[in-house]
Amino acid sequence: MKILVAVKRVIDYNVQIRVKEDGSGVITDNVKMSTNPPDDNAIEEAVKIKEAGKATEIVAITVGEEKAQETVRKALAVGADRGIHVKAEGTLEPLAVSKILQKVVDKEKPDLVFMGKQAIDDDCNQTGQMLSALLNWPQATFASKIDVKDNKLEVTREIDEGLETIEINVPAIVTCDLRLNEPRYASLPNIMKAKKKPIEEINASDLGVDVSPRLQQLKVEEPPKRKAGIKVANVAELVQKLKNEAKVI
């Protein structure tokens, strides 16, 4: 079984996001970047499946500028066997990424495609679903538990009402939730070994995919500042304010 894992380079989740003065976007210059957190869970799950003897190869893929290759190197350091970097400049929308991944899947012919449930930068939660539609493969989104059973997957999903367990056939698309596992840290020896693992470089233009944006971003602005709260002396005063000022009771 071959597993293809898609990873994305985003602003590190610990960084305080700052909006540009002209409102054209967020500041990324000299800002710490890292792998999208749910993508780390996707990598970890693929490695665990391989360690259990149920997968033979893990291929990590990223789509983006030259520096995006860092995310592939990290995936190689935690257990992926080889990497693919599809070079593309500018902002890539989920449909463009899905079409690029479709071309790579047609070439690599993996049995499973793992990715994070959504990216923390655009928060779209669309790429996995779009790729499933393009490939006409079954999908399991928001996975918090995965069991590989012959040519099927039993997946427990995070839904609004709680948990849902489904069974899907392989090949399939799986988008991974943060609760799926605890991603491991890359050890120094493995980081050094990862430098020798191969990364194939492909230009997005060579795949025949139109990556031009279909949406126009008009303005980016920070959310309004939250007003400071107030203290009340007792329950009676709280009820009075909720009733007469907030008008919620």
* Cβ atoms within 10 Å, residue 162: 7
For 136: left if phi > 0, alpha if psi spans -120 to 50, otherwise beta; the answer is left
Q: So what's the pLDDT on residue 90?
A: 80
Q: So what's the pLDDT on residue 160?
A: 86
Contact 46, 58 (CB under 8 A): yes
Q: Dump pLDDT digits (tens) for 173-224.
A: 999 999 999 999 988 999 999 989 999 999 988 998 888 888 888 888 888 8
Provide mean pLDDT across the span 232-241. Answer: 90
Query: For the purposes of burial, counting CB atoms within 10 Å of the CB of 91, is it exposed (0-12), middle (13-18) or buried (19 or more)?
Result: middle
Q: So what's the pLDDT on residue 216?
A: 86
Rg of the Cα atoms in the chain: 21
Q: State pTM to two decimals.
A: 0.84
What is the C-alpha to C-alpha distance for residues 141 and 158, in angstroms, rounded to an integer?
8
Q: Dump pLDDT digits (tens) for 5-26.
A: 999 999 999 888 888 888 888 8
Q: So what's the pLDDT on residue 100?
A: 95
Type of residue found at 30: N
Q: So what's the pLDDT on residue 130?
A: 95
Question: Token pair of 207, please?
Answer: 């795949």
Q: Dump pLDDT digits (tens) for 51-96.
A: 999 999 999 999 999 999 999 999 999 999 999 999 988 888 999 9
Question: Token pair of 193, please?
Answer: 């070994």
The gap from C-alpha 32 to its chain's centroid, in whole angstroms, comes to: 17
Q: Dump pLDDT digits (tens) for 114-170.
A: 999 999 988 899 999 999 999 999 999 999 999 998 889 999 998 888 899 999 999
Q: So what's the pLDDT on residue 248?
A: 81
Q: So what's the pLDDT on residue 225?
A: 84
- pLDDT band with cut points at 50, 70 and 90 for residue 97: very high
User: Which domains, and CATH codes, for the chain?
Assistant: 2-244 (3.40.50.620)
Contact 158, 116 (CB under 8 A): no
Q: Dump pLDDT digits (tens) for 28-46.
A: 888 899 999 999 999 999 9
